[in-house]
């Protein structure tokens, strides 16, 4: 896996094998094409960060900062290594589950990425709907900010009354969802 573009473009990054299903280069390229210049100077949060690929790509493309949140020690160590390898600055790593982080954090972010484990059975948590309806995400996203999430292509778009779905696109087995707060 590699950073696609920007100051760290083409640099290879590590992926924690047991804890990550990384966003493919193709999907990241499409996503950052959609986001365009909204990445520049934006404070970013990368939730369920795994390798940190989304946040690293954002930093490489000019984001002002990125907080990487993951509850895996292995993932946070790899993110730290990837920050060193890429030479990117402005990264902060938080070892925490996502909902606890969102509840306790006081930051405001122009972009928030969430690429959680996909729900594969009816008993699995469907994380995007849970996060959107938790009440913890809305205060963390700045006015006109964008919440980017990934779900399985076969998963229905989560119902979230406080959020406006601005785009859903399918890429292979994944779907990307872009949301803004209602009224933004």
Q: In what order do the strands lie in the sheet with 163-171?
A: 91-95, 65-70, 43-47, 109-114, 141-152, 174-181, 163-171
How far apart CA 78 and CA 108 sit, in angstroms, is 25
CATH number of the domain where residue 140 is located: 3.40.50.150
73 in any annotated domain: yes
Angle (nearest 5°) at CA 66 between 77 and 118? 70
pLDDT, one tens digit for every residue, the chain (184 residues):
899 999 999 999 999 886 656 778 888 999 999 999 999 999 999 999 999 999 999 999 999 999 999 999 999 999 999 999 999 999 999 999 999 999 999 999 999 999 998 766 666 778 999 999 999 999 999 999 999 999 989 889 998 999 999 999 999 888 999 999 997 6
pTM here is: 0.94
Range of the domain at 109: 25-181
What is the number of domains present in the chain? 1
154 in any annotated domain: yes
């Amino acid at each position: 896996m590699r950073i696609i573009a920007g100051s760290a473009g083409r640099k290879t990054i590590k992926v924690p094998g047991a804890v990550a299903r990384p966003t493919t280069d193709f999907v990241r390229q499409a996503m950052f094409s959609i986001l365009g210049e909204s990445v520049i100077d934006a404070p970013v949060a990368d939730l369920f960060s795994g390798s940190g690929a989304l946040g690293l790509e954002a930093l490489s493309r000019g984001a002002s900062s990125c907080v990487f949140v993951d509850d895996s020690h292995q993932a946070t160590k790899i993110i730290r290594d990837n920050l060193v390898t890429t030479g990117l600055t402005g990264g902060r790593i938080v070892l925490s589950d996502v909902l606890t982080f969102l509840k306790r954090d006081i930051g405001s972010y122009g972009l928030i990425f969430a690429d959680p484990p996909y729900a594969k059975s009816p008993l699995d948590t469907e994380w995007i709907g849970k996060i959107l309806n938790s009440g913890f995400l809305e205060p963390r996203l700045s006015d006109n900010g964008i919440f980017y999430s990934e779900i399985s292509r076969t998963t229905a778009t989560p119902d979230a009354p406080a959020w406006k779905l601005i785009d859903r696109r399918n890429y292979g087995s994944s779907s990307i969802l872009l949301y803004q707060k209602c009224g933004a």
